Amino acid sequence: MATGELLSQEQKKPRRTRLPRGQLLIGGAWRDARDGATMTTSDPTTEDIITEVAKGSAADVEEAVAAAVRAFEDGPWPHLHHEARAKLLFRMADLLDERVDEFALREAMDMGMPYRDFRETIMPHCSGLFRFFGGAAMNAMNGGYRTSYEDQIRILTRREPLGVVGCITPFNFPLALTCSKIAPALAAGNCIVHKPASDTPLTALALAQVAIDAGIPEGVYNLVTGPGGTLGDALVKHPLVDKIAFTGSTGVGQGIIRNGADTLKHTTMELGGKSPNIIFADADIDAAVQAAFWGIFWNKGEVCVAGSRLLVEHSIYDAVVDKLAQMAKGAVLGDPLDPATMVGPIASRNEYDKVMRYVEEGKKTATLAAGGNSRKINGKGLFIEPTVFAGATNDIKISREEIFGPVIPVISFKDEEEAIRLANDTPYGLASGIQTGDLGRALRLADRIKAGTVWLNTWHKYHPNAPFGGYKMSGYGREQGLEALESYTQYKTIWANLA
Ligand code: NAP
């Protein structure tokens, strides 16, 4: 995704609107939680409550899973021609594009993502995922025909869906990370139960409505909202759920793997990161600093693949710190609905408090070069200034732990060997980047970095066709690309005796 270009100042600022109470979608019908409980979701810019959302429980999960099982066992969905399923996914893609303003407003109000970024980069990616996996269903879901040692024996392979997939998504990039699970899951013929993060459920509600309007058969697409510790846990432990597709923190992911073990769940894990961005002295320094700036500060650092450790060759260290600090000081913080805003508010009070604790920790162990303060805009909001720490080493807390906010430690290295050693000296392995004028060096080091994504002379590029996922404690399995479809299918081998 391209980032960083300012919108033309003439673009109109959209207005906040009241939203109806969010309900659960179970078996094709919207309804409240069985016990009538609700929770609220609030706007980090104004700190006002946006609306109430159903606070589902294990009883609601039970009904949602039952609806998905019925749709899978008795409904047409898994047996539809791939073309028919693809057509419905293409329809979902078109509806997403048509409703981009509604989705952008919901994401801006709910998680503080700049409206402009959502329209320009997130929505094309989301609708692209449905188009890509619709096409993939027609192409890649076919089985095969093989011969064996015996002339009269033929082997047929069928590629089948898994059954019921529970999709559990985090508070950041709520729509994109939901689409990256739901599009391949549906393309393969599975039925789904989606559980979004409690802090940012608003685009999940709108996406479920898109599924209904596109004509996805009832029970194929179910949505439950409510606390991860109870409702999410019930989904993970449910014996009739075949797979959990999870994106979130490493700790919660580990718990899900443990809790899913009794029912032998298939799992894919998209977890946390502490991604190194390496700048060599032979790089185009201005372009490299741009990549570093957007690498960490895009979506206010609430990005799993944020370039959250900056490694800079010693001879250009001071110049890079200086340029990055100047950019950070000049960044426009503000209302995500304002076209000029570069950095919006932190998504929730919890996250804001956590990030500010890391900022205070950084002040004790490194040298503040920019930022370091929280801010209010018009007296309100959970804003944190883009913060740059110079003189950092790779062993301090702010260099080792995922901060998940607009905070970056800058670490110096002397040569290629030290750069690669520092880059890999982390429990995580989600993303990485190398900024250099030497393509040979870039490719050589890309081979040696232990991370699922390597960006050379850029950052934050994504495409539905490009596999995405982690090494080490950043998880396993891949989203996007045909590789993702693999994890939503299973193979059946049929032996035919022609004699
Ligand atoms: P989180 O706290 O792990 O929560 C993720 C989801 O899991 C939420 O829907 C949460 O529900 C649910 N959950 C919590 N406890 C659960 C349990 N015991 N059983 C089942 N579900 C449970 O993560 P987050 O704070 O929302 O998101 C930030 C994290 O996600 C960061 O670590 C970030 O790096 C990671 N992330 C990774 C990727 C990637 O692609 N690798 C992408 C984005 C984010 P509640 O909201 O109700 O608690």
Q: Which homologous superfamily does the CATH classification assign to the domain defined by 276-463?
A: Aldehyde Dehydrogenase; Chain A, domain 2 (3.40.309.10)
The residues pairing with 494 across neighbouring beta strands, listed in sequence order, are: 156
| pLDDT greater than 90 at residue 417 | yes
Residue partners of 167: CB distance under 8 A and separation at least 6 = 178, 181, 182, 185, 192, 193, 194, 195, 244, 245
| pLDDT greater than 60 at residue 4 | no
Q: Quote the strand ranges of 303-456, DSSP E.
A: 309-313, 367-370, 374-377, 380-384, 387-392, 407-413, 428-429, 431-435, 453-456
Give tens-digit pLDDT for 220-244: 999 999 999 999 999 999 999 999 9
How far does the centroid of ligand 1 lie from the alpha carbon of residue 365, in Å? Answer: 28
Q: Ligand 1 site: residues with CB under 6 angstroms?
A: 168-173, 177, 195, 197-199, 227-229, 232-233, 236, 247-249, 252, 255-256, 270-273, 304, 402, 404, 430, 470, 474-475
pLDDT band at 7 (very low <50, low <70, confident <90, very high): very low
From the alpha carbon of 251, which atom of ligand 1 is closest? Answer: 3
Among the residue ranges 38-52, 135-149, 336-350, 437-451, the one predicted with the least confidence is 135-149
pLDDT band at 118 (very low <50, low <70, confident <90, very high): very high
Give tens-digit pLDDT for 302-320: 999 999 999 999 999 999 9
Give tens-digit pLDDT for 22-34: 999 999 999 999 9
Candidates 484, 497, 465; CA nearest to 150 is 497
pLDDT band at 68 (very low <50, low <70, confident <90, very high): very high
| pLDDT greater than 90 at residue 147 | no
Average pLDDT, the chain: 96
φ/ψ of 364, rounded to 5, equals -85, -20
Please give the Cα distance from 114 to 105 (Å, whole number).
9
Q: Which pLDDT score, from 0 to 100, does residue 10 have? A: 46
How far does the centroid of ligand 1 lie from the alpha carbon of residue 171, in Å? Answer: 7
Tell me whether the CATH fold assigned to 24-271+475-493 matches the one assigned to 276-463: no
Angle at 464 between CA 463 and CA 470, to 5 degrees: 80
| pLDDT greater than 50 at residue 45 | yes
Calculate what percentage of the chain has a pLDDT beyond 70: 98
Q: Which pLDDT score, from 0 to 100, does residue 448 have? A: 98
Q: Which pLDDT score, from 0 to 100, does residue 102 have? A: 97
Which CATH architecture best describes the domain 24-271+475-493? 3-Layer(aba) Sandwich (3.40)
Please give the Cα distance from 309 to 277 (Å, whole number).
6
The separation between CA 251 and the C-alpha centre of its own chain, rounded to angstroms, equals: 16
How far does the centroid of ligand 1 lie from the alpha carbon of residue 325, in Å? Answer: 31
| pLDDT greater than 60 at residue 342 | yes
How far does the centroid of ligand 1 lie from the alpha carbon of residue 248, in Å? Answer: 3
**Candidates 102, 270, 351, 385; catalytic one:** 270
SS3 232: helix
Residues 224 and 30 sit within 8 Å (Cβ to Cβ): no
Q: Which pLDDT score, from 0 to 100, does residue 142 have? A: 83
Give tens-digit pLDDT for 172-208: 999 999 999 999 999 999 999 999 999 999 999 999 9
Q: Which pLDDT score, from 0 to 100, does residue 11 have? A: 56
0.95 exceeded by pTM: yes
Token pair of 445 as six digits:
């080091």
Which residue's CA is minimally distant from atom 20 of ligand 1? 232
The whole-number average pLDDT for the span 133-137 is 95
Q: Where are the domains of the chain?
A: 24-271+475-493, 276-463
Pairs from 355-359 (Cβ < 8 Å, separation ≥ 24)? 355/301, 355/384, 355/403, 355/404, 355/405, 355/406, 355/407, 356/384, 358/397, 358/398, 358/401, 358/403, 358/405, 358/407, 359/384, 359/387, 359/405, 359/407
Known catalytic membership, residue 361: no
Among 304, 348, 473, residue to substitute to test ligand 1 (most atoms within 8 Å of Cβ)? 304
| pLDDT greater than 70 at residue 6 | no
The per-type count for the chain, helices as H runs and strands as E runs, is 16, 24
Among 249, 254, 480, residue to substitute to test ligand 1 (most atoms within 8 Å of Cβ)? 249
Residue partners of 165: CB distance under 8 A and separation at least 6 = 181, 185, 190, 191, 192, 193, 241, 242, 243, 244, 245, 488
Please give the Cα distance from 236 to 256 (Å, whole number).
7
Which residue's CA is minimally distant from atom 30 of ligand 1? 248
Token pair of 55 as six digits:
């606070």
Q: Measured between alpha carbons, how far apart are the two ends of the chain, in Å?
A: 57
Give tens-digit pLDDT for 253-296: 999 999 999 999 999 999 999 999 999 999 999 999 999 999 99
Give tens-digit pLDDT for 469-479: 999 999 999 99
The whole-number average pLDDT for the span 419-433 is 98
Known catalytic membership, residue 167: no
How far does the centroid of ligand 1 lie from the alpha carbon of residue 172, in Å? Answer: 9
